[in-house]
Structure 1
């Protein structure tokens, strides 16, 4: 394929959701050059063999499948991308795709790939003198860290700096040491943990104290990604709906009960991409929610502003410790395919794409809440699941859904009766 042909391709595909699954796959495959083997893997009933699963976790007896979808219409930093998403929730992929279609594209920035390795030093006779010793011996501490992973250092990463402070618990002072480690294109948990564990004996000798905890922190506040997007007049001049949209967001800034649901919706999109790419969903969730509470109150991860023309601009700021190498990103064949579909060249680019999905997801949720409500659209998409649960054969599901939508009753008891009428 020539450069000209590549640039002419787009992720904006009208009616993508209406296509049969195989046709959708072919369109994505053409765009990202999936091999026949990769297409077969995606079409298979299971992405992991038992042998592969056994290499990933202990006591494996099988593997568990979830739907692998692709969100369309995304343009991030001037580049069209397909977004692989793994989720069981019906409305997530559709909402992200629809929101992206209404945007003018997403732009992102990334603070870098620095992670924190945290060490807890207890039984410290003179904690402030211990602090001084840690800073005085910084170069030796960083040297010990970097001897543990010469490959990472050769790539430009490794331990770069340290921070230390004194905390008081139950009238007893302890020292907390943070090693700042650039993990480059890896999420970095293994590299960080190896470094802090190797450094512990030297820290104990230096301070005359005991190191208890030595592990990375999932509050990756030195690894921040930001994304922004403008949505041109999404309510077609309706000033009241625009105002409601902003008011709905504003409640998430001041009320933790609303913020929890607001941010959960953001994470619907983010977690789906993180899972698809073989990254650590629990780490991303923990970091995001801790970051949302960094002011002392749990708040929205996004900000929204409207102009006088009815356009709405959104921004998101979130820790994003994701990688392209290591862990399940390489050992899970489905994750490797997901990364190929995304085409991200660095962990920073991957982080920006993921943050853009979270922002799109939030826009879609707020827009639905101030219009028809969240449940109408969700239940329409959930109707297929409901028909299958009610016993519809694969060739009956679409008919059952059409009947239910025509009746306006998307309830399980009604669906059972509809399915029975088709048999």
Structure 2
């Protein structure tokens, strides 16, 4: 109960969810056991199956941001001349960064820029290198400190908040699937399923939900802010002007073989210092399954889990169907 009361208020009990382990993951030539927590049956089985298919073709390869960052924002209103205020703030960049960084260790403000919003309003945006931290609390404290320090009279500071835009924290996972004979037809059907998600946002949002099944299950197991992750990825999916799938597929044909190269980009505002990761024993145990307890390793793992889930869902979709696959697992459990 003491642990629960550190997490929330007015605690009267707990809702337990299963903590599972997904095998078959080979990521950048290392074997992984991936911790997952979800209320939806078949997600862990599907991820494990998707990972098994990828493992047979060499495993996942990943890339990570070299300097993961997020941003904070300060809204300024009732300015007598927003352009003049913006010019003044931009001339004070180093002083703003110094004030933001006062007393912070895991996160570091590295850039700041003000822009005009309207005749009497502006926004100051601060870029923060977050390292192994999720960064939300630190960035909010930074923005509140800078907001108190700023002098924009006769205007005033209004909102001081981080942005959950995580374009500076995108992890990429790739996998190849190859086949000949009858497998070529199955791979061809799988590749065509990507076309519908590319063409229609109505399908892309469900396609992305399948990816998030894997991503969020790992996030839950490791004590991450799942709402921030969901929000960041849906923003990222729409960042090109139209909502698109987070994964994509390239088909390569040879005389007797079809090869699919499937890649996913996942925005991961995550951390392994602070929050639940510091005191929740299950989250600490889940993180302990990974080769490294770093945000980099966790982000790569989440991207691979999302891709494995995506591949498994699409294989079911073009085969027996999603519902039939779910029901088969339900019936197996009931038996």
TM-score normalised by length of structure 1: 0.74
1:159 is displaced (CA, Å) by 0.6
The aligned residue for residue 31 of structure 2 is 80
Q: 1:57 aligns with which of 8, 18, 27?
A: 8
Q: 1:365 aligns with which of 299, 307, 313?
A: 313
Max Rg structure: 1
Listed as ranges, the gaps of 5+ residues in structure 1 are 1-49, 388-400, 402-423
CA distance in 1, matches of 2:260, 2:26: 17
Question: Highest relative contact order (Cα 8 Å, sep 6+), 1 or 2?
Answer: 2
Structure 1 residue 288: Cα displacement:
0.5
What pairs up with 1:151-166 in 2 under 5 angstroms? Answer: 151-152=105-106, 157-166=107-116
Select the residue among 101, 106, 110 that pairs with 2:64.
Answer: 110
- Alpha-carbon distance between aligned partners in 2 of 1:185 and 1:191, rounded to the nearest angstrom: 12
Secondary structure of 1:307's counterpart equals strand
For the residue of structure 2 that corresponds to 1:358, the secondary structure is helix
Residue 280 of structure 1, aligned match among 211, 225, 231: 225
Answer yes or no: is the 8 Å Cα contact 1:242–1:306 preserved in 2.
no
Distance, in Å, in 2 between the alignment partners of 1:236 and 1:183 is: 49
Q: 1:95 to 1:53 in 2, by over 3 A?
A: same
Number of the residue aligned with 1:191? 138
Larger % of strand: which? 2
The corresponding residue for 2:127 is 180
Which residue in 2 is equivalent to 1:167? Answer: 117
Per the TM alignment, residue 176 of structure 1 is displaced from its structure 2 partner at its CA by 1.7
For residues 356 and 225 of structure 1, the distance between their equivalents in structure 2, rounded to whole angstroms, comes to 9
C-alpha contact 2:210 2:310 (8 A) present in aligned 1: yes
1:372 CA drift (Å): 1.4
SS in 2 for 1:216: strand
Q: Tell me the residue number matched to 2:47.
A: 96
Counterparts of 1:103-252 in structure 2 under 5 Å?
Answer: 103=54, 104-111=58-65, 112-149=67-104, 151-152=105-106, 157-168=107-118, 173-203=120-150, 205-206=151-152, 208-233=154-179, 237-252=182-197
Give yes or no for contact 1:102–1:232 (8 Å, CA) kept in 2.
no
How far does residue 371 in structure 1 lie from its aligned partner after superposition?
1.4
* Partner-residue secondary structure (3-state), 1:74: strand
Within the candidate set 377, 383, 389, 2:325 is matched to 377
TM-score, structure 2 normalization: 0.93
More helix by share: 1
Q: CA deviation at 1:237?
A: 4.2
